[in-house]
Amino acid sequence: MTGLKAEGQLSGKVAMVTGGGRGIGRAVALAFAREGADLCVVARTQAQVESVAGEVRALGRRALAVTADVTDPAQVERMAARVKEAFGRVDVLVNNAGGGIERRTVLESDPDLWVKDVTVNLISAYLVTRALLPLMIETGGGRVINVGSGMGHQAGAGQSAYRVGKAGLWMLTRCLAEEVWSYGIDVNELIPGPVATPLTQGRMQAGGPPPFAPSERVKTPEEVAQLAVYLAAQPRGGPTAQSFSLARRPL
């Protein structure tokens, strides 16, 4: 039949993406919108989240732009209240906020930066997930996707704060999955591998190898978004407590 738009894999769903103002977060939000989801886009920079929300609306979906620091418990609680008021539900949560802050060795590191690094990569996901779980349970379940890193699965010299934060996120994924499966909530980790984003500009180019692994291929944010859509669209009873990776080397 012509003239009718086919329903997407996420039609009727509401998704929240943290760190959604650029890079992987933006690509995931737009991919979800193309698959029929309404979006709550969260980031610290108002201009970025408003821009992405506008792109979502241009695709015919509803969008809520929330400016919040997801490492601040009070701001996270206000964010959860806003999405509940606007949509009444959240079916898919993507904990994408994160980044490397303290790259030096433990001996050379700044303790405040080290703790901040762990907080943005781990504690933020804990706070956001905890704030939204009651709503997800109330409305019948959902999917939590934690954007991790291969560095959270491997030890190495330097960047210990990032490694520890992402390792903690991996374990949080597994523990949470054991706690919430009976509510119809599945929790998985998405490992992008090296990705060309504004944060890696100048060091990585999409399609080529990154400087640390010749067997790897640097992905685009849109490629990562395809895996996020796959995980978000899994039926109840699908995989949980698992890690899904786009990397091309052992983790």
Q: What is the pLDDT of residues 16-43, one digit of tens each?
A: 999 999 999 999 999 999 999 999 999 9
Q: What is the tally of structural domains in the chain? A: 1
Of the candidates 133, 130, 242, 152, the residue with the CA atom closest to the CA atom of residue 189: 242
Q: What is the pLDDT of residues 66-77, one digit of tens each?
A: 999 999 999 999
Kindly report the CA angle at 153 between 97 and 40, in degrees rounded to 5? 20
Of the candidates 212, 196, 94, 106, the residue with the CA atom closest to the CA atom of residue 151: 212
Does the pLDDT at position 1 exceed 50? no
Catalytic residue among 126, 162, 183, 230: 162
Q: Is this structure's pTM higher than 0.75? A: yes
Of the candidates 82, 23, 9, the residue with the CA atom closest to the CA atom of residue 219: 23
Average pLDDT, the chain: 94
Q: Identify the bridge partners of residue 38 per DSSP, sorted by sequence position.
A: 14
Q: What are the b/e assignments for 130-148, b being 16+ CB within 10 Å?
A: ebbbebbeebebbbbbbbb
Handedness of CA 151, 202, 219, 94 (dihedral sign): positive
Residue 8 lies in a domain: no
At 250 the pLDDT is 86
Residue 38 lies in a domain: yes
Residue 110 lies in a domain: yes
Active site residue 162: yes
What is the domain-level CATH number for residue 53? 3.40.50.720
Q: What is the rounded CA–CA span in Å between residue 4 and residue 204? A: 41
